[in-house]
Amino acid sequence: MKIISCIDELRDQLSGQLRTVYVPTMGNLHEGHLSLMRLARKHGDPIVASIFVNRLQFGPNDDFDKYPRTFQADVEKLEKEGVYVLFAPTEKDLYPEPQEFRVRPPDDLGNMLEGEFRPGFFEGVTTVVLKLFSCVQPRVAVFGKKDYQQLMMIRNMSRQFALPTEIIAAETYRAEDGLALSSRNMYLSSAERIEAPALFESLNGVADAMRSGHQDIAELERIAMLKLSARGWQPDYVSIRKRSDLQTPSSDELAQGSKLVVLAAARIGSTRLIDNLEI
């Protein structure tokens, strides 16, 4: 596996490759990330991964400085997965001058759910993804469904900018008890780790109620939030949305059987977890 930090060197290395498949990450790799590499292998060759902790998507109260960085362990994992190139730019490599040009997500998608609670997050995400796509120039890129709103944002951005990159969605990788794997899980204490699967259990409860015919969305969301709070969580949202655009479904759309997803974000202790479940 070649480890490259310079954009020009990366382009030279990938010159002439027509089936490059790309998996961007922020490092601290776990089985969820590695499952993306395995899915990538089915959609192209060579596989390019990147590790870059993107300052642009971290707010003033976020954890940029303490975000776990485990580069050597990550390299060993990627080598075992047959990754061809690891693009690992420094901030100076990727942002040699202040990144004054930014991608501004549309308000109807960018300012709700995660966008409401993390202002500027999606501007930072879409800006760095567009720049990474420009560096790697992949035919295919793989993103996980755990970050459901982010996945939709990147798909929409790629379509509207007519980028020649197909976005492939990977199912959320879970531990045996249902907890979605995340780099931030390492912040959980042992007691919090035991409690953490309750977030996915909450999503399943909402989904089961919807499948049983309950259509009072606001009431289902309110009950789910109260149950999490009663267990010691601090929920930001539990929300039932349409898969197509993440807008709230109307009664007519519910009656017509619109495909739905329930999304949630909540803190347990000092750790904020997100999850979702398609209904």
From first to last of its 279 residues, the chain has per-residue pLDDT tens of 999 999 999 999 999 999 999 999 999 999 999 999 999 999 999 999 999 999 999 988 777 888 889 999 999 999 999 999 999 999 999 999 999 999 999 999 999 999 999 999 999 999 999 999 999 999 999 999 999 999 999 999 999 999 999 999 999 999 999 999 999 999 999 999 999 999 999 999 999 999 999 999 999 999 999 999 999 999 999 999 999 999 999 999 999 999 999 999 999 999 999 999 999
For the residues of the chain, what is the DSSP string, one character each? -EEE--HHHHHHHHTT-SS-EEEEE-S---HHHHHHHHHHHTT-SSEEEEE---GGG--TTS-TTTS---HHHHHHHHHHTT-SEEE---HHHH-SS---------HHHHTSTHHHHSTTHHHHHHHHHHHHHHHH--SEEEEETTSHHHHHHHHHHHHHTT-S-EEEEEPPPB-TTSPBP-GGGGG--HHHHHHTTHHHHHHHHHHHHHHTT---HHHHHHHHHHHHHHTT-EEEEEEEEETTTSPPPPHHHHHTT--EEEEEEEEETTEEEEEEEE-
Q: Model pTM?
A: 0.95
Active-site choice (30, 33, 43, 214): 33
30 is catalytic: no
